[in-house]
Amino acid sequence: MKALASAEAPVGRWRCEIKFDGYRALAVLNSGEVELWSRNHNLLNTDYPEVVAALARVKCRSAVVDGEIVALDSAGRSHFQLLQGRELGERPVIAFYVFDILHLDGKSLTALPLEERQEVLRRVLKKTKFPLRLSPWFDDVEPADFLDSAREQGLEGIITKRLGSSYESGRRSGAWLKCKVVGEQEFVIGGFTPPQRSRPFFGAILIGYYQRGKFLYAGKVGTGFNHDLLKLLHGEFLKRKRAECPFLNLPMERRPRFGTGMTRTEMKKVTWVKPELVAQIKFTEWTNDGLLRQPVFLGLRTDKAAKDVRREVGAVSASVKRAA
């Protein structure tokens, strides 16, 4: 089940949860055997053995649970950049926050109301230990106030879930809403510029998203990289070089006032790549020209197919308006 991006926190009685900044995963438990699957059907067992080992100790015959694999900072906050660091050989603290259960001991629970499913989940995880954690939920709070608290604590945002709702596999029905404190979503890499000054390998990446089958340019990102990332990404880019620009809305006829435009002259310096690599990008807002302001690279994503990357309309305007 997927959450729908919302420009405003909803009004009324919703169950509020913290929005984690990591990899969504479904865990399939069967008689002590565990399979940990990403949202694009990649098996994650070898990537997160500590999570698999903890899931294997859950006391049940079989189950399917839904959650988020995260890397935690010293204050216990999740950061996608820390997950990227793990892939480069660093050792952040990993946790699996579980927030829903779909099956238990051969019985489907997806038709049950949200509250009943999560009470079942609480019982199933009662005696489990870190890195498994039950994702906390809050009912007696206004979603707008909860979003304000998330902002004050430096969290990515919140998830609100309609009380009484069933689990709708693969759907984005609006029964779950996500409200972000800062702009952050996936984009697809379509090219890179040459290195400048003392930076090696490349200067910036060009990113975009798909809309009705068209690959559209959203901006140029030149921050968020260290030496190891520059080297790793450059190697991946060279495997995917192509002669033609993949963005259907380039060149831009004029340089925009905000954002990073791409005119015909600037395009001559770009090396184009097949739009296959998905990057997580943080930014302040979308401009009227459809470009990102102040984008920052957070890491590569391996849990989402490039063709599934869309612009999340409204997710940023909420944080911009409420902070204004």
Q: Hey, which residues are catalytic here?
A: 19
Q: Is 224 within 8 Å of 207 (Cβ atoms)?
A: no
Sequence letter at residue 46 = T
The rounded distance, in Å, linking the Cα atoms of 273 and 192 is 8
HSE toward the beta carbon, residue 227, CA cutoff 13 A: 1
CB 252 within 8 A of CB 263: yes
8 A C-beta contact, residue 260 and residue 296: no
Q: Helix, strand or coil for residue 40?
A: coil
Q: What angle do CA 22, 88, 35 make, to 5 degrees?
A: 50
Rounded to an integer, what distance in angstroms lies between the CA atom of residue 243 and that of residue 259? 25
Amino acid letter, residue 60: C
Instruction: Tally Cβ neighbours within 10 Å of residue 137.
Output: 16
| Cα-Cα end-to-end distance for the chain | 32
65 touches 118 (CB < 8 A):
no
State how far the Cα of 185 lies from the Cα of 103, in Å rounded to an integer: 30
